[in-house]
Amino acid sequence: MTIAVGLGFMDFPFSSADAYWRWVALCEEGGVDSVWQTDRLVSDQPFLECMSAMAALAGATRRLKFGMNVVSLGLRDPLLLAKQCATIDMLSNGRLLPGFGIGSIRAADWQAMGADTAGRGQRSNEALEIISRLWVEESVDFEGDFFHYKDARILPKPVQKQLPMWLGGASKPAIRRTARFGTGWQAGLETPDEVAPVISAIKQALVEERRTIDHDHYGAAFSFRFGNWREPAVQKAAAFFQGRLARAPEPRIVAGGSDEILARVAEFIAAGASKFILSPIGDNDRDIVSQTKHLIEEVLPEVKKLNQ
């Protein structure tokens, strides 16, 4: 099992593009595995459009991998999305990590666009089949309840012969969707205790689907702060989890030192996860950079030892 640590944000916490690119450069030079961008179109706080961000990261980095966590299939056209992913993967020499989901029903995007949330699961299933076929087949014909394509084709194809298809969600339909289409599963707000039964259920569904997912292609996520729970930045993050996400913050935030962060990583590993998206909690650009440096210097060397 290969353990890998990436970093990501739900929003855009930086004061400027220059501050963001300084942080990306730090991740690139510091040995961070990957960076991730949450998908959101409509919000009252800054969010990068995730596919545009992926394209920008392809040109700004040389080693770093990057992905969407996760793009909302219920709000995107699969032909365009397949083409975007293939283009970005080609231009980055195979460093894109596409992540897909049906889209949070709590997101303001649906109402703003007049989109119906009913049937978004089946719509996403159709989109995943279309996207996965477009990446490898010369031409795709498709007649579904939501999408209709005739002789759809894209070139260039992705550089990665099997472009990853990371899927999110912990519901029974999401588990079945992962087993049918996914090459990996990425947890969102799930705790270690919640991750373990989902991974077990996916593995059982894979047997029924006669498919396999690599044993180290299950991911987890949590927010971290080198500090303590009394700090304003942590309290603000906790309020966001409690208020906006309706989730208890304590199991989803680690505030302490490297030992506490590594302990949470170990809990997830014991639950079956080995790929991580961690979110640094910071008050400003300098603080986020400081938190990231601490992770690079104090946590990543210990993670590297786990892979030896």
| Number of domains forming the structure of the chain | 1
- Whether residue 85 is predicted with pLDDT greater than 90 in this model: the reply is yes
Q: What is the DSSP string of the chain?
A: ---EEEEEESS---SSHHHHHHHHHHHHHHT--EEEE---SS-SS----HHHHHHHHHHH-SS-EEEES-EEGGGS-HHHHHHHHHHHHHHTTS-EE-EEE---TT-THHHHHT---TTHHHHHHHHHHHHHHHHH-S-EEEE-SS-EEEEE--SSPPSSTT---EE---SHHHHHHHHHH-SEEE-SS--HHHHHHHHHHHHHHHHHHT----TT-EEEEEEEEES-TTSHHHHHHHHHHHHTS-S-SGGGEEEE-HHHHHHHHHHHHHHT--EEEEEE--SSHHHHHHHHHHIIIIIHHHHHHHT-
231-242 tens-digit pLDDT: 999 999 999 899
pLDDT of amino acid 117 = 86
pLDDT of amino acid 51 = 97
Instruction: Provide mean pLDDT across the span 87-107.
Output: 93
- Whether residue 246 is predicted with pLDDT greater than 90 in this model: the reply is no
Instruction: Provide mean pLDDT across the span 63-68.
Output: 98
Instruction: Provide mean pLDDT across the span 211-228.
Output: 97
Domain interval for residue 212? 4-306
206-215 tens-digit pLDDT: 999 999 999 9
Instruction: Provide mean pLDDT across the span 168-178.
Output: 95
Q: Could you tell me the pLDDT band of residue 245, with boundaries at 50, 70 and 90? A: confident
Instruction: Provide mean pLDDT across the span 83-100.
Output: 98
- Whether residue 105 is predicted with pLDDT greater than 90 in this model: the reply is no
Specify the range with the lowest mean pLDDT, choosing from 21-35, 85-99, 221-235, 237-251.
Answer: 237-251
pLDDT of amino acid 115 = 86
Q: Could you tell me the pLDDT band of residue 106, with boundaries at 50, 70 and 90? A: confident
Mean pLDDT of the chain: 95
Residues of the chain with pLDDT > 90, as a percent, come to: 89
- The CATH number assigned to the domain holding 191 equals 3.20.20.30
pLDDT of amino acid 307 = 93
